[in-house]
Amino acid sequence: MKPPARLQSLIEEGLIDTVVRQLMSGKEAMVFVVRSGDHTHCAKVYKEATQRSFRQAVDYTENRKVKNSRQARAMAKGTKFGRQAQEAAWQSAEVDALYRLADAGVRVPKPYNFFEGVLLMELVTDAAGDAAPRLNDVAFTPEDARRHHATLVTEVVRMLCAGVVHGDLSEFNILLAADGPVVIDLPQAVDAAGNNHAQRMLLRDVRNLADFFGQFAPELRATAYGPEIWGLYQAGLLQVDSPLTGRFVQSTAAVDMGGVLREIDAARDEEAARQLRMGR
């Protein structure tokens, strides 16, 4: 096919040779099958912010780092340069997450290059060598549903141990490769320790898995892997091979309100002292 304009620069740079076909068009990007020498890859072309239906919600972008203070100030002011910097940060978030998770052994497509808003990465294939389907396009036996669910819960744990929460995990962004599920679409991934919404997002990710696979193995809907995983993480006990039960009992211990209020007062006093030191 005729190379789209956004992919022409990759051809000129020798990163790819030809564009085979468009694979899909999603809410934040278009994906193409491309050839590079004897290898077949996929190229993810990010859409401009005005063309995306998925917005950069503050829940996802909270505490994301940028390269310098000038960019941070521009992003806060919403200037043209700031919007460009925000767009670049949004795109690079997926690239950073892919490299981080691939290094941690998470089942994600292997990234190869990121050039001018295009992510070149592994093409995930099925047993026949064709592009792997998404989970929502596949029907499962109860046994396969349980097996794939267990695999993906382990992947969620592995991601969290690497400090990452997917943030939008569902049957629509998991591919079924020849050797099992592969997690895709990570531009909204968040830092588990640095984002105040990470717990809620992880619980939603795990609930999405239970709801989807629960269509084929109904008992999965009654599991509570999300709270169990997050509880172990908060306690500093979560390991990649931590045994999980799928059960979680919420603590009924009385809250020490006096202690909570003392912490609030201490934080208020510390902030007042900081303001005084700064002469405000």
In order of 19, 40, 43, the CA distances from 26 in angstroms are 18, 21, 13
Contact predicate 44/34, CB 8 Å: no
168 as an active site residue: the answer is: yes
Q: State how far the Cα of 135 lies from the Cα of 156, in Å rounded to an integer.
A: 16
Report the C-alpha gap between 136 and 13 in whole angstroms: 36
Among 103, 179, 185, 265, the one annotated catalytic: 185
Q: Are 228 and 203 in contact (CB under 8 A)?
A: no
DSSP 3-state assignment of 211?
Answer: helix
Active-site position among 137, 168, 205, 269: 168
User: Which tokens hold the place of 211?
Assistant: 């709801």
- Long-range contacts (CB closer than 8 Å, 24 or more residues apart) made by 37-40: 40/123
Residue 17 is among the residues annotated as catalytic for this protein: no
Sign of CA dihedral 260, 264, 265, 266: positive
Cα–Cα separations (whole angstroms), residue 192 to 105, 130, 166, 264 = 17, 34, 9, 24
Residues whose CB is less than 8 angstroms from the CB of residue 203 and which lie 6 or more positions away in sequence, other chains included = 226, 227, 230
**Distance in angstroms (rounded) separating the CA atoms of residues 28 and 46:** 6
Rounded to 5 degrees, what angle do the CA atoms 257, 195, 228 make? Answer: 65
For residues 12 and 18, give the distance between their C-alpha atoms in angstroms, rounded to a whole number: 11
- Report strand pairing: 18-25 vs 29-36: antiparallel
- Which amino acids are annotated catalytic? 168, 185
